[in-house]
């Protein structure tokens, strides 16, 4: 198993696409469709990395990034925004919210794999 990944995504086809790809790559995956489901997912085993949709229906997905950063027990967990909002101003807002990286939709899985490897390797070295 490569690691525990939490996908926070409200769109079912996007959930399935990410889950299927991650599982085929050897990751353990948990999925949340809302912020409340995402908060509840921070239990044993803790996610080692979070893939976060910026817009969760009427909810601002970036709220979760801030919530993670405010809690010492979770603050080192990498958060990768996965979003259709890829403008430079959007990316600045995403980083300011506490995300470590941003991956644009449609997803470049090679790029996502590089982010996952990078951040999970860094966490393993802590």
Query: What tens digit of pLDDT does each residue of 18-63 get?
Result: 999 999 999 999 999 999 999 999 998 999 999 999 989 899 999 9
**Fold of domain 4-124:** Rossmann fold (3.40.50)
pLDDT at 67: 97
**DSSP per-residue string spanning the chain:** ---EEEEE---HHHHHHHHHHHHHTT-EEEEESSHHHHHHT-SSSPPSEEEEESEETTEETHHHHHHHHH-TTTTTS-EEEEES--SHHHHHHHHHTT-SEEEESSP-HHHHHHHHHHHHHHHHT-
């Amino acid at each position: 198993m490569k690691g525990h990944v939490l996908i926070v995504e409200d769109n079912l086809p996007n959930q399935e696409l990410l889950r299927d790809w991650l599982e085929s790559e050897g990751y353990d995956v948990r999925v949340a469709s809302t912020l409340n489901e995402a908060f509840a997912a921070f239990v044993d085993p803790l996610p080692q990395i979070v893939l976060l949709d910026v817009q969760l229906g009427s909810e601002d997905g970036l709220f979760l990034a801030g919530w993670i950063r405010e809690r010492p027990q979770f603050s080192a967990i990498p958060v990768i925004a996965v979003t259709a909002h890829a403008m430079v101003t959007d990316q600045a807002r995403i980083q300011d919210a506490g995300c470590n990286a941003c991956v644009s939709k449609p997803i470049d899985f090679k790029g996502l794999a590089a982010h996952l490897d990078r951040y999970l390797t860094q966490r393993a070295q802590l």
